[in-house]
Amino acid sequence: MAQVPDVGALAPEFSLTNTHSTPVRLEQFRGGGVLIVFFPFAFSRICHGELCELRDNLHRFTGNDVTVLGISTDSMFALKAWAEQEEYDFDLLSDFWPHGEVAQRYGVFDETNGMALRGSFLIDSDGKIAWRVVNERSQPRALDGYFEALTQI
């Protein structure tokens, strides 16, 4: 597995497809903050809880000029169905092919199981990593950690 980028490092660039078949590039968010949230699988229990918490508190991020992006190795079609079911108001991006390429760049790809770990990266307006946390797939991230991280940018 690749190394997780350090706080202060330039965030690895990427272009991934959202649930509407639109390419989303990290660079398009320069000038504002971005919270990148890698998650293992759509429709799974812990992922559901984490992303619903983000959905329900999205105003706390957008109010701080931070865009939330969820990324998994699921197909765009699975992510679209899940986003519609759960009414997520932020983009879910598919890192399906080449499988896990972006998760690998961020050092959160579990090669044995072919999925992303629970890695979150807060990117500042200059494109640098201001905060990060990486948990195993069975360990949910604490919502309060995100709110504390917002004070870093």
What does the alpha-carbon distance between residue 79 and residue 41 come to, in Å, rounded to a whole number? 9
Biggest CA–CA distance in the chain, Å, is 38
Catalytic residue, chosen from 47, 54, 83, 115, is 47
Assigned CATH for 31-150: 3.40.30.10
52 assigned to active site: no
Structural domain spans, the chain? 31-150
Dig out the tokens for 152 from the structure. Answer: 């870093």
Give the pTM: 0.96
Q: Average pLDDT, whole number, for the chain? A: 96
- Examine the pLDDT at 1 and tell me if it is beyond 70: no
Q: In this structure, how many other beta carbons lie within 10 angstroms of the beta carbon of residue 42?
A: 24
Q: pLDDT (tens digit, 9 = 90+) per residue, 79-136?
A: 999 999 999 999 999 999 999 999 999 999 999 999 999 999 999 999 999 999 999 8
Q: How far is CA 14 from CA 29, 95, 104, 122, in A?
A: 12, 10, 11, 15
